[in-house]
Amino acid sequence: MIDLSTSNGQNAAATLENEFGKGRVVFIACDITKTDDLEKTFKKIVDTFKGLDILINNAAIFNDNYWEKMIDLNVKALIHNSMMAFDYMGKHKGGKGGVIVNIASTAALDPGYFFPIYSASKCAVLGFSQSLASMYDKTEVRVIIMCPGLTATPLVINMNSRVHDSIRSIVTKKIDGMENLPKQTTDNVALGVLNLIRKGKNGVTWISEFDQPPSAINFPHYSKRSFHVLSKASEKKSVMYSVQNKTIIITGAAEGLGYKYAEILVRNGAKSVTVVDLPTSNGQNALATLENEFGKSRAIFADDLEKTFRKIIDAFKELDILINNASIFNGNYWEKTIDLNVKALIRGSMLALDMRKHKNGKGDVIVPMYCASKYAVLGFSQSLASMYDKTGARMVIMCPGVQVQQHRWSQASVIRSVTPFALC
């Protein structure tokens, strides 16, 4: 049992030992968001018990006002735990195989608009776990995903306080009703996990709710819906939402897809496109290219997102469109990947929501961009989209396939030893 030193861990271990005997349960105090502490804890467990057979990643918090800590624990710590367990248990690293149970949530299956950031964290767990499960033939580590519904735990006490301050005013009545919904017992979830450890198939996602036995979720392959894309010959035709005279921010726009978005939008009449990227990027050259083709003041380069928001509002009195495009794809730097691809996207979106109608803005569009399997982006975006009737901010989610772009990805060593190429 691993938990914080301030938790009830010692008492919980004593209770279990009283019932089942000494030496059957060990409590180790550890902050699993701290890499060094976690690595020492894993080593201590393996040295004490001469191996590791099962890891249950259950630790989580649920409060959108502390969303950075929530991403650190619910996503980054879970990934770190899982990868260390792979090192100890995986056949590809000389282990004997084993089981990883990752606890997601029904919020990963049906992102609720009350808690967009919590939903994002649990969607990330779902996507990460399904990716790990696909390596079973090389690792012999079974990965099981459990999605509990509303359960009687401290996480669901005083739910209104767990809503992000910026959206509480538009969801309070809904939350009050949610707190009165029936909750399943913790015994039901725990017994379900036991049965899944015993006989659950690798990679299957299970839902546990209403005090019923867990049931498997069938994920249909995504279906494509065709969408008319403007060609040069037809770009002047009217569309539902015109970009004429719109003020736009695009992150990660110095090259690749981000630059192409900027070029297309300026060509189609955008008033101003701000290219946001690192100071070491190709941003200045991208700006010069856009200005040479479309004229001065049509494009701006900036390297600080929050200052950019203030600058845009001061200069143009409004922001119409945000495209969250910035991302990296590098398994060797996965913590930076989470920080940029998830945390920075959430931060940008929450800043942009200040333009929404219930804060006296006029709404308009937020477009979070990332590849098809980035569940955190998908879940967060779907959750925000469900608030449209209150915010007037339209959410558009783009899932590009593989594209040619340099300096954006590499594979972590653990992945490289399992399969020659895998897209996360």
Q: Mean pLDDT over residues 321-328, rounded? A: 91
Q: How confident is the model at residue 284 (pLDDT cuts 50, 70, 90)?
A: very high
Place of tokens 């003041």: 297
Residue 305 has pLDDT above 50, yes or no: yes
Helix (H) or strand (E) holding 321: strand 321-324
Which residue type does 292 have?
Answer: N
> What CATH number should be reported for the domain whose range is 31-221?
3.40.50.720
Give pLDDT, residue 227.
57
Residue 297 has pLDDT above 70, yes or no: yes
From CA 77, how far away is CA 102, in angstroms rounded?
A: 12
Give pLDDT, residue 384.
84
CB-based burial label for 373 (10 Å; 0-12, 13-18, 19+): middle
Domain segments of the chain: what residues? 31-221, 247-390
Give pLDDT, residue 365.
62
Q: Which of 132, 136, 127, 112 is nearest to 372 (CA)?
A: 127
Is the separation of the CB atoms in 129 and 396 below 8 Å? no
More confident residue, 420 or 301: 301
Give pLDDT, residue 167.
83
Q: Write phi, then psi, for 184 (nearest 5 degrees).
A: -80, 165
- 288 Cα distance to chain centroid: 34
Give pLDDT, residue 352.
82
From CA 320, how far away is CA 392, in angstroms rounded?
A: 11
> For residue 369, what is the DSSP state?
B
Bridge partners (DSSP) listed for residue 392: none
Q: How confident is the model at residue 30 (pLDDT cuts 50, 70, 90)?
A: very high
From CA 286, how far away is CA 254, in angstroms rounded?
A: 6
Residue partners of 261: CB distance under 8 A and separation at least 6: 250, 253, 323, 325
Q: Write phi, then psi, for 188 (nearest 5 degrees).
A: -65, -45
Q: Do the domains 31-221 and 247-390 sit in the same CATH topology, yes or no?
A: yes
Residue partners of 308: CB distance under 8 A and separation at least 6: 249, 274, 276, 302
Q: Which of 262, 237, 416, 255 is nearest to 328 (CA)?
A: 255
pTM recorded for the entire structure:
0.82
CB-based burial label for 117 (10 Å; 0-12, 13-18, 19+): buried
pLDDT digits (tens, 9 = 90+) for 250-267: 999 999 999 999 999 999
Strands 205-208 vs 215-216: parallel, antiparallel or unpaired: antiparallel
Q: Mean pLDDT over residues 186-215, rounded? A: 96
From CA 318, how far away is CA 360, in angstroms rounded?
A: 11
Which residue type does 113 have?
Answer: Y
Reduced to 3 states (helix: H, G, I; strand: E, B; else coil), residue 227 is coil
> What CATH number should be reported for the domain whose range is 247-390?
3.40.50.720
The most confident of 214-223, 236-245, 367-376, 413-422, by mean pLDDT: 214-223
Q: Mean pLDDT over residues 292-312, rounded? A: 86
Residue partners of 344: CB distance under 8 A and separation at least 6: 251, 305, 324, 326
Give pLDDT, residue 36.
94
Residue 340 has pLDDT above 50, yes or no: yes
CB-based burial label for 258 (10 Å; 0-12, 13-18, 19+): buried
State the greatest distance between any 2 C-alpha atoms of the chain, in Å, as a whole number.
78
From CA 261, how far away is CA 368, in angstroms rounded?
A: 12
From CA 372, how far away is CA 246, in angstroms rounded?
A: 27
Q: Is 259 a catalytic residue?
A: no
The most confident of 77-81, 165-169, 360-364, 369-373, by mean pLDDT: 77-81
Q: Write phi, then psi, for 51 (nearest 5 degrees).
A: 150, 180
From CA 11, how far away is CA 296, in angstroms rounded?
A: 68
**Cβ-count burial 239-253 (b if 16+ within 10 Å, e if not):** eeeebeebbbbbbbb
Taking only Cα atoms into account, the Rg of the chain, rounded to an integer number of angstroms, comes to: 23
Tally Cβ neighbours within 10 Å of residue 24: 10
User: Across all residues in the chain, what is the average pLDDT?
Assistant: 84
More confident residue, 2 or 370: 2
More confident residue, 230 or 281: 281
The active-site residue out of 66, 88, 113, 118 is 118
pLDDT digits (tens, 9 = 90+) for 159-199: 889 988 888 887 777 777 777 889 999 999 999 999 999 99
Q: Which of 148, 179, 149 is nearest to 163 (CA)?
A: 179
Q: How confident is the model at residue 416 (pLDDT cuts 50, 70, 90)?
A: very low
- 28 Cα distance to chain centroid: 28
